[in-house]
Amino acid sequence: MAVPSSPGPDPLAPAPAPAKKGGIPVWAIALIVVGVLMVCGIGAMATTAIFGTRKYITKSKEAEGRSSVAQMARDVATCAMKEELGTGVLARGVGGAKPRGLPLTTAPVPKSLSEVSGKKYQSAPRDWTGPGWDCIGFSQVSPQYFQYEWERKSTTDGVARARA
């Protein structure tokens, strides 16, 4: 028995349109991927910026303490030389003390460490007075993050401090 043959597709007829598939279009997926990558990139940059800013602030605060202690040490050395020569503030009898060698111990400025704990302290000129400070001539006119003091241990030994 012979099977009737069916005519094949007409080569001149237009091709049928592809069947529409359900789901998310490719452009939407690409947009979502780019958005997620942007959010991750911005988060990484923000984290780096926060870390860098904190590091910068810490270094700048440390620089205040280091430079001020170095200046105080230079001022102490100058004061000691003037006192040895008899031309210093203390050698002239101001304050009633006449030390030999390094200047007398100073009161810390500010008086309490809690005054600079986590904040700046604005000292007044009267804070930097007394036999030791008068001789050293050191003071801070701008707000400070540290408590400064000079401690004389002997006529040839002493310590300049900046506490935070």
Please give the model's pTM, rounded to 2 decimal places. 0.64
Q: Poorest-confidence range of 11-15, 141-145, 148-152?
A: 11-15
Please, are residues 161 and 69 in contact by the beta-carbon 8 Å criterion? yes
- Rounded CA-CA distance 123/112 in Å is 12
Query: 3-state DSSP call for residue 87?
Result: coil
Per-residue pLDDT tens digits for 41-90: 999 999 888 988 999 988 988 999 999 999 999 999 888 888 777 665 55
Q: Is-cis flag, bond preceding 25, omega within 30?
A: no
Measured CA angle at 80 (ends 75, 151), to 5 deg: 70
